[in-house]
Chain A
Amino acid sequence: MADVVTQMAATGGKSLRQRQNATHIGIFLTLILLWELGALMGWLDPLFFPAPSAILTSFWRIYFAQGNIWYHLYVSLGLVFAGFTAGSILGIGLGAVVGMNGLVRRFLQPYVIVLEATPRIAVAPLLIAALGFGATSKIAIIMLVCFFAPFINTLSGVINVDRDRMELMRSLGASKLQVLRKLVLPEAVPVIMAGERLALTSALSGVLVAEFIQRDQGIGTLILTYTRNLNMASAFACILTLTLIGFLIFKGMEKLDHHIAYWKNEAGLRRVGAKRAQAWATAQRGQSNA
């Protein structure tokens, strides 16, 4: 009987999900249709809203017929990941040091606040002037854009660790490393991961800023070329490509977050629990065989 109820619930849940998906797709297609109609009838300004059919044609052209977007995408994504990695390492590393050391925090805090208040985009031309042209200065711009979210989140994750538990661990003679591994990191990781998600999506904005200033190559340069020539359909195709990449990055980071901070969600706990149980059982079997 219980099986039947579970099965019915599962079937009901599935059909509800299907209905929801169908509704989403319906709304999306209606909006696109209205957009196309608006463009056809001249209700929408083609300078700002090119017809979806024109954007679709542009997708075909830049990806397949001409194939000119691939190289620019490759360049931009390379910069995004390099800048993100550098910004994350610096942000998490410095955040952890500042969070765990009151003295460092006292001295560094004012500089960090000033740096955070400084608009990063305004600093970009200065960074290029200081570091010269090429990938280094672009990566530095992206790094700067990516730095603060991991830094602030790591700092807050480390500072907001449960004091009572920390005192307990210390009174039981836990070393600093043990406190870090067993208490601080597990509590801070979900917050750090949230910062990483933010940083990776802002890295896309960072690469655009860098490429709008240094216009040699990359998706930002391509967008500039298209908008300068009023080829808005192709510019939209590039922008939608970035939107899709941003979405995929966000979803990917969400999955990674679930994987790393598994103790924060039910499914993760079950997965790791099952894995550990299996490992334990294997070890037991090995022992009894011996």
Chain B
Amino acid sequence: MKMFKSLLVSTALAITAVPALAQDLTTVNMINPLPRSTNFFPLVVAEALGYFAAEGVEVNLLPSDTSIPYVAFVQNGQADLAMLDPVETVNARLAGANINTVFEVMQNAPEAIGVLDSSAYDSVDDLAGTTVGLVSDRDRAFLQASLDVVGKSIDDVQTVVLGESGPTLAAAIRDGEVSAISGAAPDWIALNANGINVRLITPQEMLSSPANTFAVNADMIEEKRAAIEGFLRAWNKGMYVAKVNPEMVAQALRLGVPAEWENEAAGQLFLDMSIGMNVSTTERLGDLQSDVWTALQPRLLSSGAIPELVDVGTFLNDTYIAAANDFDRAVVEAEAAAWLAANQ
């Protein structure tokens, strides 16, 4: 039955794609770390509801390992949007990259530092002298900044990059090879869903850090305005559905990313956590919080993650935000409900 449903959805997508192609869609190339995933559900939901095509946009996802220099792809035009974290953004600006941050995908950091629930570590302070695992090299900066909050430095701990392989992470923390892991939400979800209970000890100060923000080439802002505004509006509609109809989001993900929903409980846990991270806390969805960026930078500086401070006014640019929020909430609610009724 599930296979039949998947086929039905694929066929429906294929059929709707044909007239969409005929409409001459503008491709928006977006580079990020994951393929279509519960972690970025607004994309999957907006695609299921046909919001990108309705905006005249076709999303070309370029999910890549973090060893790929995302900023370079924005600069050479291969990517229109890149998902960057604050450290990458500031360092790119300092390196002379002409990029602007135009949208905050996650306003609550998905990054965190987790320890085994049964362990004696209660705060990041307790990690001094131990070995901390990093999911990727990107997580070093977050660990640095978190240690800095409690007056410690990265030199007070040993670090080891464990990689993104679930079993390696799980075995390392379960068997005590590392005291903690600095990683992101999907890593904790997989561990918890598989009976390895992890407790997060991330300093409070680090929780409000924006993450996975969309950066664009500043020179292309006007040229790409229509396509990117359409893209962000569709994204926001997908995000909004989670506020009013989370069951529709769950069903779209069950059909769109079945590999993450083979274990229903794990899929639901992943979604619950992802909703918390993806739904904006600002009044305008995806809005840029210059005060948060300003407050964050001194911590990144003292931890050594960035070499100097950058005036946030030089790279935060909310030029697309108003248009991205310009949609009728009631219509989205009705469309989501109708989709769920047709696809349950």
Contacts and interface: CB of A to CB of B under 8 A. Distances in A.
Given A47-B167, A133-B64, A215-B65, A230 B191 contact: yes
13 contacts: A61-B262, A67-B3, A68-B258, A125-B65, A128-B68, A129-B68, A133-B64, A212-B65, A213-B65, A213-B68, A221-B35, A227-B167, A230-B190
Given A215-B34, A227-B166, A67 B6 contact: yes
Given A45-B171, A66-B2, A66-B6, A227 B165 contact: yes
B56 interface: no
B166 A68 contact: no
B55 interface: no
B11 interface: no
Q: Tell me what chain A mostly uses at the interface: helix, strand, loop, or mixed.
A: helix
A231 interface: yes
A217 B194 CA distance: 25
A224 interface: yes
B62 A65 contact: no
B49 interface: no
- Most chain-A CB neighbours within 10 Å: which of B3, B62, B63, B262? B262
Nearest to A122: B67
Given A216-B62, A217-B35, A47 B170 contact: yes
Nearest to B65: A213
A62 to B, nearest CB: 8
Given A47-B170, A215-B63, A234 B164 contact: no
Interface of A: 45, 47-48, 58, 61, 64-68, 125, 128-129, 132-133, 212-217, 221-222, 224-232, 234
Interface in B282-308: none
Contacts of A66: 2-3, 6, 258, 262
A221 B62 CA distance: 12
B262 to A, nearest CB: 6
A129 B31 CA distance: 12
B259 interface: yes
B186 interface: yes
Interface in B142-181: 164-167, 170-171, 174
B319 interface: no
A221 B187 CA distance: 16
Interface string B232-274: 0000000000000000000000000011101100100010000
Most buried by B among A48, A132, A221: A132
Contacts of B78: 132-133
A228 B163 CA distance: 10
